[in-house]
Structure 1
Amino acid sequence: MPASEFELINKYFQDLTDKDPSVKCGIGDDAAIIQIPQDKEVVLSMDTLLGGTHFPVDTRPVDIGYKALAVNLSDMAAMGAVPKWVLLSISLPENNEAWLKEFASGFLDLARQHSVSLIGGDMSRGALSITINIQGLVSVDSALKRDGAQKDDLIYVTGTLGDAGAGLDIIQGKLSIGNECAEFFLKSLNRPDVSVEAGLRLRGLANSTIDISDGLIADLGHILDASHVGAEIEVRKIPLSEAMQQCVDETTAWNYALTSGDDYKLCFTASAEQHEQVISTFKKINIPVSCIGKIKQEAGLQLKTPEGTCFEPSGKSYQHF
């Protein structure tokens, strides 16, 4: 007889529920109870990943579990929050214990790295989907937000951009390259390198922050809209991985970096006076950071080539609808 929902939960997820003293009541009751320190605010976010939409259904379950949590941790990083607790809801077409065991392995691996506690959730039969509600803590009035970009701020991104988009194109048969580069791109897609530490270091330093989930143009656009400003980006300054530089031409690389989603790096703005501190801060935590442009008062986003012309991307950023 297949294991029941509660047997599966206890078997594969119970390990993350009993070690956090702030969890007064976790898995096993009708709802969770957590204790919030008086000097903190709670930051909440939720993401749903659908099989066939956000990941191919034949993706390894261990990678799905890892990525499902990673995309939520990225939201915490963008807010400068310390991730603390998660609720997990899984819908599976059938009772597949082997699949769930692998999923839990990837999920728990990343959760342990960030000391995140699983405090509840749900499991049901249906189309493959994973929904995670994550909660984190920040000191009162210290969260990073999108709406603080100011004229003459410098624009930065962490890591390299476009690699996950190249990975998706490989899966979809749109890009054919050597095995070594392909492996790198696929890992970037399936196991995004999320840095919560980067977000924590930006508190009090950045004027605005967002994570890059739908593509640089789209997500920087959210900062511009919320802050009522514009921007100019120098496309040559956008950081590209060695694999990207080796495997595709420059124009294709720029298109990936500007429009493809699933990078889960941070884009932020800070005053020009803070530039040296930004560079030294990220050097200390060994996270690459690049200055790629500047905030303008006039609305709109301009993409400048080294020749001074405007670059027109051939692709569009990810659209949810």
Structure 2
Amino acid sequence: MGEFELIRRFFASAACAAGGEGIALGIGDDCALLQLPPGEQLAISTDTLVAGVHFPQQADPFFLGQRALAVSASDLAAMGAKPVAFTLALTLPDARPDWLDGFARGLCAMARDCGIGLVGGDTTRGPLSLTLTVFGRVPAGLALTRAGARPGDLLCVGGSLGDGAGALPLVLGEMQDSGADAEYLLQRYWAPQPQLALGQALRGRATAALDISDGLLADCGHIARASGVALLVEAEKLPLSPALERLFPSEFARKCALAGGDDYRLAFTLPAAELAAVQAQWPEVAVIGRVEAGQGVHLLDAAGVELQPPALGYQHFGSQGD
């Protein structure tokens, strides 16, 4: 199967390539054309997923298609952007129709959930890897960034933490369990739901935000550095799902929440006066700490004594916790 036949058969004709709001021209020309309303800015993010690094070599292609787009669209949520379009650069060791069909169906399922359209990309032969670039729109001056957290703000997260990391032993075959709790964690790993509506609702409310991909402590470090403040995380306030707590000892579950990554929840700083309105619409939002003058991220026990974190989070180049 040639490159252009592959594109036509599995992607150009897919439901997620049908166009939509903000897409003036999609797949089929040298470039796509995106149309932004007046007074809005374009948010862009690129993610690469590599077999054997970000997912197992033999990952189910449907699940992989879902996950690949979800982790990219989560960056739009972190900026408070509304999804518009995405591109896909797909490197394949071979063009297997059954694999491509499953991958395209998973991709389109997540695209439908996120309200985002496929507008182009590339295919080439080589070790399996996926590069997705997502495009969103946000009113000028209202994008959420990592800078802006202020002493006195609350540190919040958009829901339970640690589920993606807790699923990893199941994904890698290191643990066998077919119960409902295991299924829940696997769903959180393979089909994380980007918190797009929450991100858009935080415009003009949150002072800083990002999505948790490499671990809570590591990612909060980005806010602390960009904002020039200290973030205090209260270990006893970490929201853990019942499934994670039932499947694993409490110490392991907490480590997953602090440093495991793959959560794709939003972490954000919020003036206390905004909390009630946010929680009224999103009751799963949890306060896990506060912002103070200083620098860095500090983990505290119930008495306010600083704890040594188990690790900071995942890094591609460098040891854990560097």
For the aligned pair, the TM-score class normalised by the smaller chain equals: over 0.9
Is 1:300 the counterpart of 2:305? The answer is: no
Q: Which residues of structure 2 form unaligned runs of 5+?
A: 318-322
- The residue type equivalent to 1:319 in the other structure is Q
Distance in 1 between the 2:39 and 2:138 partners? 9
Q: How far apart, CA to CA, are the structure 1 residues paired with 2:313 and 2:22?
A: 40
> Does 2:203 correspond to 1:203?
yes
Deviates more, 1:12-21 or 1:152-161: 12-21
Give the equivalent residue in structure 1 for 2:6: 8
The answer to whether the 8 Å contact 1:201/1:281 transfers is no
Which amino acid counterpart does residue 122 of structure 1 have in structure 2?
A: D
Cα contact 1:177–1:247 (8 A) shared by 2: no
2:64 maps to 1:64: yes
Distance in 2 (CA, whole Å) between partners of 1:243 and 1:70 is: 22
State the partner residue of 1:115: 115
Matches within 5 A, 1:1-321: 3-14=1-12, 15-20=15-20, 22-172=22-172, 179-283=179-283, 288-321=284-317
How far apart in 2 are the matches of 1:46 and 1:163? 24
Q: SS in structure 2 opposite 1:13?
A: helix
Whole-angstrom distance in 1 between the partners of 2:109 and 2:186: 19
Alpha-carbon distance in 1 for matches of 2:312, 2:38: 44
SS of the aligned residue for 1:141 comes to coil
Q: Deviations over 1:63-118 (max 9, x none)?
A: 11001110111000000000101111100101111101100001001112232111
- TM superposition shift of 1:6: 1.6
Shift in Å, 1:4: 1.9
* Matched letter for residue 303 of structure 1: L
Report which stretch shifted further, 5-14 or 19-28.
Answer: 19-28
The 2-side partners of 1:314 and 1:234 are apart by 14
Distance 2:254 2:22 in 1: 45
Change over 3 Å in CA distance of 1:57–1:243 after alignment to 2: same
Q: Residue 162 of structure 1 contacts residue 256 of structure 1 at CA under 8 Å; is this kept in 2?
A: yes
Distance (Å, rounded) in 1 between the aligned partners of 2:251 and 2:309: 9
Structure 1 residue 186: Cα displacement: 1.9
Per-residue CA distance 1:236-257 (angstroms, 9 max, x = gap)? 1110000122122222221110
Q: Secondary structure at the match of 2:199?
A: helix
TM-score (norm: length of structure 1): 0.93
User: Residue type matched to 1:55 in 2?
Assistant: F
Return the offset for 1:189: 1.3
CA contact (8 A) 2:225 2:296 kept: no
1:252-301 CA deviation, whole Å, 9 max, x = no partner? 22111000011100000011122212212324xxxx11000000102122
Unaligned runs of 5+ in 1: none
Percent identity at matched positions?
Answer: 39
Q: Following the alignment from structure 2 to structure 1, what is the Cα–Cα distance between the partners of residues 264 and 114?
A: 16
TM-score using structure 2 length: 0.93
1:101-151 Cα distance to aligned partner (Å, 9 max, x none): 100001001112232111110011100000001100011111111101000
Superposition deviation, residue 307 in structure 1: 4.2
Equivalent residue of 2:306, what SS? coil
2 CA distance for matches of 1:171 and 1:114?
A: 24
Secondary structure at 2:282's aligned position in 1?
A: helix
Distance 2:128 2:36 in 1: 33
Q: Is the 8 A contact 2:24 2:34 kept in 1?
A: yes
Report the CA distance shift for 1:232/1:87 in structure 2 as closer, same or farther (over 3 A): same
Structure 2 residue identity aligned to 1:289: V
What displacement does 1:152 show?
A: 0.9
